[in-house]
Amino acid sequence: MGKVKDSDLTELIDTQIGEAFDKSATMMTNGLDLLNLLDLIDTWLIVSGFRFQHELHDNCHRFKIRLEMEEKWCKFFAAL
């Protein structure tokens, strides 16, 4: 990932990843609403092995994802 240019990363996210994520999310849930999306993110993080915390207080979801990766991965996840 360190060798990927920021512009190439943005293009990849815009043209490939975002669309694939949306299609997967729609197929794996009963539509792409906020609660289904949060559940999908939670499941994806567990399966991917990321260290994270999912807190739920007063119907407010908060994800704390520990990325022990470089800045470009942060940009990647922010774009999703």
What CA–CA distances, in Å, run from 26 to 38, 50, 52, 62? 13, 22, 23, 22
Domain boundaries, the chain: 6-79
Does an H or E element contain 78, and which?
A: helix 71-79
Whole-model pTM: value is 0.51
pLDDT at 59 over 60: yes
pLDDT of residue 13: 74
**pLDDT tens-digit series, residues 1-44:** 567 787 887 777 777 666 677 777 677 666 667 777 788 788 87
Q: Mean pLDDT over residues 65-77, rounded?
A: 69
